[in-house]
Amino acid sequence: MIKVFINRKVPAELEPQYTAIAKETLQASMRSPGFIKGEVMHDINDPEHRLVIATYSTLADWERWYQSQERLELMNKLRPMLERDELIKIYEH
């Protein structure tokens, strides 16, 4: 089992648009093979910082979702709202 930590920085003025597309992205990832669970956390000291934690059965399952056309299309909508590129770290149990 692996956990994927995705750090994103979202300007406050783009929060409503970001939330809508991020929710759509999470719902799509939930349908991907090997997906176990997902969480979205907000930094209490930095309201623009978001942390997405996704749990997958295997690294191959995550990579399949990460490289999927569906995620690419959703990220093309999401990416312009980010202050910088998302930072992804992967850990295994």
Average pLDDT over residues 9-35: 95
What rounded mean pLDDT belongs to the chain?
Answer: 96
pTM: 0.92
**Residues 10, 81: contact at Cβ < 8 Å?**
yes
The Cα–Cα gap between 61 and 57 comes to 7
Q: Which two tokens stand for residue 30?
A: 């939930």
pLDDT value at position 72?
Answer: 97
The first and second tokens of residue 43, run together, are: 């930094």
The tens digit of pLDDT for each residue in 47-89 reads: 999 999 999 999 999 999 999 999 999 999 999 999 999 999 9
Determine the pLDDT at residue 25: 94
Domains, the chain, ordered by start: 2-92 (3.30.70.100)
pLDDT for 93 beyond 90: no
Q: Is the separation of the CB atoms in 86 and 8 below 8 Å?
A: yes
3-state helix, strand, coil in the chain (%, to 5): 45, 30, 25
